[in-house]
Amino acid sequence: MTFDLLSTVEYGGCSAKLSPAQLAEALKSLPKVTHPDLLVDIETHDDAGVYRITPELALVQTTDFFPPICSDPYEFGQIAAANALSDIYAMGGTPLTAMNLVMFPSTRIPLEVLEQILRGGQDKVTEAGAVIVGGHTIDDYPPKYGLAVTGTVHPSKVITNAAARPGDTLVLTKPLGTGVLVAGRRLGEARADAYRVALESMKLLNRKAGELMQEYGVRCATDITGFGLLGHAYKMADGSRVTLAIESTAVPLLPQALKLVDIGCIPGAAFRNLAFVEPHATFAPTLDYSRRMLLADAQTSGGMLICVVPDKAEALVGELQRTGHPQSAAIGEVTERADVLLEVM
């Protein structure tokens, strides 16, 4: 049985997110939720919420779902699950349980497709050492899938997107370009081998990166998803009251990504993300258009952007490269707060 899930969507994966500007507008008038045990809330748009249960234990809670990002239903399930689990790793946590979030048109797509999506998600959750404990389904088109995930972390070891310090080195653990490669696939321009690399990158759990962050004493990180590298870097800089200096040529890219942007394979989310950060950023005159767009490309199940003290950066990058993240790289540094939040060179 063959069914191409990409035939059901215009924007898939994290490219389907609301723009960061729209999200900020929707949230701005909501009352701030406070509680003495709420360690991380929505104020800095962090990757997950953290709630302290005891002095030794806190819960990390997140949810994420989206329309298909690839053709194969089993791989879609794997990618969606890896993407949701990543929020737990970004906070320094360990996934514990997950619940399926399913929107599926039961009369328009064979139910065997749903079974394969759920199987892919379950296999990835099992790989993470967590368990599926239930879920919720509605009949809806186009299909969408994701997880609500609960994890645990020690309250004193929570990693947030608002703890960057001047002098920290910025490390990125996965290459950029998943949105562009998927767009190229839809247009028949992406090479099969390059598209396959993108799929494998999206399926790769950020588990090892999360473990290494704890080993190296990291206290500030975020995973790169729908707002692109620049959008998530902006949120980190704003929450931490610092400026991030990014060396664009050091940022790892997926195969063929630059060439696809050159011929116009640019998802709409990249333009929205760039428009959101431009008022808060400076760009070097030498930075070419294609590379700038890739820095704003919406990533699905992307890598971690990690702030680590400089004397540990080389060792962290080396260990990441040896343990499943071969394109990990130092891409810049944290500086004192300047007139802009992002300096892209």
pTM of this structure: 0.92
Tokens of 97: 């349980």
The answer to whether 195 touches 75, Cβ cutoff 8 Å, is no
Print the SS3 string covering 68-103: CCCCCHHHHHHHHHHHHHHHHHHCCCEEEEEEEEEE
Q: How far apart are CA 100 and CA 28, in angstroms?
A: 29
Q: What is the CA radius of gyration of the chain?
A: 19
Q: What is the pLDDT of residue 46?
A: 67
Report the pLDDT value the prediction gives residue 45, as an integer from 0 to 100. Answer: 74
Contact 189, 260 (CB under 8 A): yes
CB atoms inside a 10 Å sphere around CB 97: 15
Question: Averaged over 92-101, what is the pLDDT?
Answer: 97
pLDDT at 299: 95
Q: How far apart are CA 269 and CA 21, in angstroms?
A: 12
CA 116, chain centre distance (Å): 23
pLDDT value at 122 more than 70 = yes
Sheet with strand 38-40: strands edge to edge: 38-40, 49-54, 57-66, 144-153, 94-103, 131-138
Residue 12 has pLDDT above 70, yes or no: no
Find the mean pLDDT for residues 215-235: 95
Residue 257: which residues within 8 A CB-CB, separation 6 or more?
Answer: 175, 176, 177, 180, 181, 194, 294, 297
Lowest mean pLDDT among 7-21, 27-41, 45-59, 82-96: 7-21
What single-letter DSSP state applies at residue 45? T
Looking at CATH, the fold of the domain delimited by 5-157 is given as 60s Ribosomal Protein L30; Chain: A; (3.30.1330)
Please report, for the chain, the start and end positions of each structural domain, with discontinuous segments joined by +.
5-157, 169-344
Model confidence over 125-156: pLDDT tens digits?
999 999 999 999 999 999 999 999 999 999 99
What's the Cα-to-Cα distance from 295 to each of 143, 234, 266, rounded to whole Å?
28, 12, 12
Q: Which of 255, 119, 146 is nearest to 196 (CA)?
A: 255
Say which residue, 8 or 12, is predicted with more confidence.
Answer: 8
For 149, the token pair is 């995930």
DSSP string, 227-257: THHHHHHHHHHHHHT-EEEE-GGGS-B-TTH
- For 169-344, CATH gives 3.90.650.10
Q: What is the DSSP letter of 341?
A: S
CA atoms within 13 A on the CB side of 78: 16
Residues with catalytic function: 14
Q: Show the beta-strand stretches assigned E in the chain.
A: 38-40, 49-54, 57-66, 94-103, 131-138, 144-153, 169-172, 220-223, 243-246, 281-283, 304-308, 329-335, 342-344
Nearest 5°: CA angle at 68, between 3 and 260?
A: 100
H or E stretch at 259: helix 257-262
Beta-bridge mates of residue 222: 305
Average pLDDT, the chain: 92
Task: State phi, psi for 135 to the nearest 5 degrees.
Answer: 165, -165
pLDDT per residue as tens digits for the range 32-58: 778 888 888 777 676 788 999 999 999
* pLDDT, position 25: 79
Of the pLDDT bands very low, low, confident and very high (cuts 50, 70, 90), residue 99 is very high
∠ CA 209-212-215, nearest 5°, is 160
